[in-house]
Amino acid sequence: MPFQKKTQVAIAALIALSSVTAQAQSNSEVQALKNTVEELRRQLDELRGLIKQAPTSQAAPAAPAEGESQESVDARTSATKADIQGLRSDLENYKYDQSRLQERNIPSVTRNTKITGNIVLGYDKRTPGFQPGDSQTTAASATTPGEVRKNGFRAPTATLNFTGTLYRDYAEGKNLTYKFGLGANPTGTNATSNSQVNLTDVFIAYSYEPNSGNLEDRKGVVQLGQQAVPFGLDAPAIDPEVRAVINSALFVNGLDLGTRQIGLVAQGDYDPYVDYTNNYRAPLFGYAVGFFNGNGPNKNDNNSRRDWIARATFTLPVDYTSWLRQLQLGASYYKRLPTIATASTTAVTGVYGQQQVLGFDVNWTHLPFSIAYEWAYGKTEIAPQTANLRVNPDGYKRGVGQYINFGYTWGEQFLNSSKQQGKYDDFWPKSYQAFLRLDTFDPNRVSTSTQDRQFRTTLGLNVFFAETTRFQINYFKDRNQVATGVLAANTTTLPKRANGVQAQFQAGF
């Protein structure tokens, strides 16, 4: 057989043998896959049988290891369907309870509102006592007999304030807010058992400077409504919770500055110095400009002329560590146009007069020390009556008053480190403030009236129990010059000497 034919026959034989081998290998792989599928099917049938036999059975959790905490055991324990349903039921019950609580036990308002208030209880003892007919009693008569009252508990007073936001500017912080206040005070006599409830601060305020909480931002707000007049330091402190001394300065009442007025006030500051470490902010300049009716609170004006006021303050730009920190100088000017008399004995139309009040004040608070000094001068046009013109020929009454207050505070309540600490319940560290005030007022500085000056020395202690709770005790000693003779009609009916103790407890919420 030739060589070429032998080669062809060999190749054909190899191809046949490889074909048979591949077919045999393919058949073995298919058989193995079939066996695997059958085994999986058998295992699946066994699992189905187990599930049908015990549908609610659960695998027992592994026993906790020695020293394993309960939190760890709970974390690796799966929740059952019953556990999830119980949680859903508890959430539904909580939602229902909260809904009923909101509807039946919690008052609701349309706008954001914060409610605050203050209760004042006091005790007075003085010598000589309150005479029948003065501002603390009523005139004695046969039907309402009375005697000199030298001591006793003072009728309580209370305030209630509502504040909130009417419009919140999320972009620039120029918010529109409001305040609505009520004050309950006794009638001031011992003949009636009634208290008078009047409006106190009632205004809306718009922040024309950003009020975002950044200490470096300027502050600026305009207030429209009934509010305190921003004159000096002592006059705006009308409410007892913001006064360090129970009695106001003598010139505040003598120049008729301690009342609220109805009008418009714009006030703010400029270029504040900020120390973030001590949470300290001291603006370089402060200002206030306002226009008022001038006829007092809770009533319309009695003429068509507006009173106006301007105030400016300057704070020394020094570091927080300096002894001159918080040394502030202030000046105030108040122009009033009150109705002082009628045109004639039969006329009902009033005649307006003029009153100008100038003020200067210095305030330095560097804990534990504090010093405050204030001076005020008022020139008031008086009714053109013969008795008045006899003492004041030019028709003007000039009053001058001043006081200086020295204070020393010890305790932790006013320290920034204490303010930032967490406080449980109503616990605050106690603080104490002792002070001495020297006060004087001349109601009519004129050459024809030289024996009418008033002097008052007050020694006191303030005890701060909590954020809004304070106890005050003051000892005062008055010395009054009393004119006699032709000028008696122009003097007040004050005793030459008077002294007393005043105790007062304030609780705020």
Q: From residue 378, how far is each of 284, 313, 357, 397, 448 by CA, in Å? A: 28, 20, 4, 8, 18
User: Do residues 238 and 206 make contact, with C-beta atoms less than 8 angstroms apart?
Assistant: no
SS3 content of the chain, % helix, strand, coil (to 5): 20, 45, 35
pLDDT band at 24 (very low <50, low <70, confident <90, very high): very low
Q: What is the separation, in whole angstroms, between the first and last Cα of the chain?
A: 125
The number of helices, as runs of H, and strands, as runs of E, in the chain is 6, 18
Is the pLDDT at 84 greater than 70, yes or no?
yes
**Whole-number pLDDT of residue 162:** 93
Cα distance between residue 358 and residue 309, in whole Å: 10
Strand partners, 339: 352
The pLDDT value recorded for residue 204 is: 96
149 — phi, psi (to 5°)?
-105, 120
b vs e for 395-425, b when ≥16 Cβ sit within 10 Å of the residue's Cβ?
Answer: ebbbbbbbbebebebebebbeeeeeeeeeee
Contact 220, 209 (CB under 8 A): yes
Is the per-residue pLDDT at 491 higher than 50?
no
> How far apart are alpha carbons 207 and 266 in whole angstroms?
10
Please tell me the pTM assigned to this model: 0.75
pLDDT at 251: 93
Query: What structural domains and CATH numbers belong to the chain?
Result: 113-508 (2.40.160.10)
Phi-psi region of 482 (alpha: psi -120 to 50; beta: other; left: phi over 0): beta
**453 confidence band (pLDDT: 50, 70, 90):** confident
Degrees (nearest 5) of the Cα angle 259, 262, 266?
Answer: 100
Give whole-number Cα distances, 99 to 95, 106, 163, 436, 460, in Å. 6, 10, 25, 55, 50
Closest CA to 443 of 304, 221, 254, 235: 254
When pLDDT is averaged across residues 171-176 and rounded to a whole number, the result is 88
Residue 487 has pLDDT above 60, yes or no: no
What does the pLDDT read at residue 228?
93
Sorting pLDDT into bands at 50, 70 and 90, what band is 134? Answer: low
CA distance 262 to 90: 54
